[in-house]
Each structure stands twice: as C-alpha cells, then as structure tokens.
Structure 1
Amino acid sequence: MASSFQTLKMNSSSPLMITNHPYYPLEVEIASYLANEWSVPVLLGSFSTLCAAILLGTLAIVKRLHPNLPGKEKAAIWWFVLSGCIHLFFEGYFSYNHTRMGPAQDLFGQLWKEYALSDSRYLTSDPFVLCMETITAFTWGPLCFIVAAFITTSHPLRHPLQIIVCTGQIYGLILYYATSMFDHYYKEVTYSRPEFVYFWIYYFFINFLWMIFPGALLVSSVRRIANAFKTLEKMEAKSGATKKKA
C-alpha cells in the first residue's frame, strides 16, 4: 500500500500541511496528518462494543420500564437511540473537531480517519460534509431521542416527528451520495480508495443502513397516519348520517 502513497511538496505558507497519506485523491492536502496508532480490528472492535453496549442498555431499560411494548416498537426504540448516539456524539465530534482531524489519535478521531479512506472529505473540512454532519448531529441526533421517548408513551406526535426525522436522514444520505458521485463522474475527482472494503462496505453499505431502517419507519408512519385519517373520516361520515336521521 505504501507504494500507492504520494508525497507532495510542503506548502511554505502552511507549515502544518503534511501530505504523506493514503487518501484519495492522492494530491489532497491534510493538515498535520498522522497515521492511526491503533489497528483496524481494535478500532472496529471498540466501536462495535460501544454499539452493543447501547443496544443491551436500551433493551434492558425498555424491558424494565415498558415490558408490554411490541417487539417492533422495542426495535424502533433501539434504532433511534443508536442513531441518536451516533449522530450526536460521533458525528458531533467531527463537526466540532473538523479542523483537527489529521493528527487526532483518540478513539473517534482514529475511527474517522479509518472511515475517511472511503471519503477523504472528512479530513479536509469539506463545506458540504461539514454542514450536513452538523445538521445531522445537532438536529436529527436530539430528535432521535425524543422519538424514542415518544414511542414508549404512545405520544400523538410520535409518527409526525418520526416522519420528519426519517425524511431528514434519507434526504441527507441522498445528498451525500449525490455530491460524491457528481464529483466522481463530472469532475473526475475520487474521494474513496479503490479497494472493495472502502467503497462498497464503508462508503456504500454502512451509510445505506440509514436508507433501509428510516425508510421502513417512514413507510410505517405514513401508513399509520393514513389509516388514522381513514378511520376518522368513516367516524365523521357515520356521525353525519346519524344526525341526518335524527
């Protein structure tokens, strides 16, 4: 892999620009870049452990406080809690530290540098990625927790808010894919390394989870609201017929 790295000239006016890195395009400048200290298995194992802890903790709390909730509702709560944590803390970390990603050696910083092998925009303060992640972190993140709480109480605003959050997640993902593919095909600028794992697993599959689950929840909420209005219209029609007879 080292043979594919490209050493660029250091900009004299920007002494912090270190350009010996594995990211595409190879000529991109990444401020003060340092290679990760932890191995990929350690990084992914740590992240998986955090996600498992969130899952088990959420399931334990829901089982104790709301044992009679249907399985689908429990799964929806877990998804929103997990999404909320990833949005607010992981993506929020990027939003707050985007200018210091190159040399970062804490867990989240190294995870972002590993993910950036599939999209180097995360190491260059790309305006679209920064704005998209900031909105995701500080809008959809907190709202995910609110939706999860609304599910436990059967709050009447659960489904309208769920539609808003899921639509926002899907819309952000579509723009994320679209801007990258536009640059790839129209500008011939590639942000992902060519290896299968980086493009198809990191870039495509992991992100596509936020198309699958929000999509299913969006359809469920739309159907639920449509059925509610259908039932209401039938009740109103029946009530009107009764009044006419009277």
Structure 2
Amino acid sequence: MCLTGFIHLFFEAYFVVNHETLASSQGLFGQLWKEYSLSDSRYLTSDAFVVCMEAITAFAWGFLAFYIAYCIAVEHPARYALQLIISVGQVYGDVLYYATSLLDVSYCRPEGYYFWFYYFFFNFIWMVVGCYYIKQSVAEISRAFGRLAEGDALRKGK
C-alpha cells in the first residue's frame, strides 16, 4: 500500500498538477510522463477524462493507500473495508481507462512495445492487484460477519 500511495500521490499527482505544461517539462517525472504518453497521447493533450481519472487516483487513492498501510501496521479491522473501496476504485478506473482509449486506438504509437508494455501491462498490474485485494477483502469481511452470526445464534440458544 505504501508503494501504491507513493505512485499515486507523487507520480500521478505530478501529472495532474503539471498536465498543461508537461510537453515542455524537463524534470524526471515530466520525462517519464512524456515517455508514457507514447502509449497514450491523451496525456500530452490534457484530455479531460485522463486528467479527472488521474486526479481521483492521485488524491483519493493516494492518501487512502497510506491510511490503509497504517491500518495494516496497527491491525485495524477497517483495513478490509478500506482495501475493498480502493481496489474497486482502481479496477473501475482501469476498466474506464481501457474502454475510453480502445474506442479510438489512434492514441498509441503503432509499435507493439508501447501498446503491450506501457499501455496494457502497466495498467493491467493495477487490475490484477486490485482484484486480489477485492477477493481478500470480501473473504475477510464475509468471515467476520459469519462469526458474528454464529455468536448471535449461540446467544439466542439456537
């Protein structure tokens, strides 16, 4: 979760804050975003969907990821509910990202490397990790409610 928080809150937030001047940026993050934009040129055109999606990812999921890391460290039970929220948000964001760009594949350079590695693989990681944490969270929450139901049944004498 700390890695997720750093990526979202620092790297992706850099894009949100600097998207209008990204093309002329000479800093490390600017250069990395320009390289990534070879797989999705919407990042250099300040596409409204991409800016909004990255803003939500950076500021909502970035801060939440750090809070979840704290919850994991102190074994707080809210961890699983928060993990479920951030993971569903991640997967939903990726589905929208893929869907909106696949409607017009002209955003990507023709070389397969840019499409399959940058565009597909880098984003698919978030889908896999998100689905893993969704499954884990649902299992833990279901287990907790199952134990609660068992306790209620024992108290009622059933």
Q: Hey, what does 1:228 align to over in structure 2?
A: 144
> Residue type matched to 1:223 in 2?
A
Cα distance per residue 1:13-72 (max 9 Å; x no partner): xxxxxxxxxxxxxxxxxxxxxxxxxxxxxxxxxxxxxxxxxxxxxxxxxxxxxxxxxxxx
The one of 179, 201, 206 equivalent to 2:122 is 206
> Aligned equivalents of 2:59 and 2:23: distance in 1?
23
> Residue type matched to 2:62 in 1?
G
Q: Hey, what does 1:142 align to over in structure 2?
A: 63
* Identity fraction in percent: 54
**Structure 1 residue 196: deviation in Å?**
1.5
1:194 aligns with 2:76: no
Q: Hey, what does 2:98 align to over in structure 1?
A: 177
CA RMSD of aligned residues (A): 0.9
Q: Which has the higher contact order (CA 8 A, sep 6+)?
A: 2
Which has the larger Rg? Answer: 1
Runs of 5+ consecutive residues of structure 1 not aligned to the other structure = 1-79, 185-189
> Aligned equivalents of 1:108 and 1:152: distance in 2?
30
**Structure 1 residue 183: deviation in Å?**
2.4
> Aligned equivalents of 2:43 and 2:81: distance in 1?
32
TM-score (norm 1): 0.63
> Aligned runs of 1:95-110 on 2, under 5 Å?
95-110=16-31
> Aligned equivalents of 1:81 and 1:208: distance in 2?
19
> Aligned equivalents of 1:134 and 1:231: distance in 2?
39
Q: Hey, what does 1:237 align to over in structure 2?
A: 153
**Structure 1 residue 197: deviation in Å?**
1.0
> Aligned equivalents of 1:157 and 1:232: distance in 2?
16
The one of 86, 89, 96 equivalent to 1:168 is 89
TM-score (norm 2): 0.97
Which is richer in helix? 2
> Residue type matched to 2:6 in 1?
C
Runs of 5+ consecutive residues of structure 2 not aligned to the other structure = none
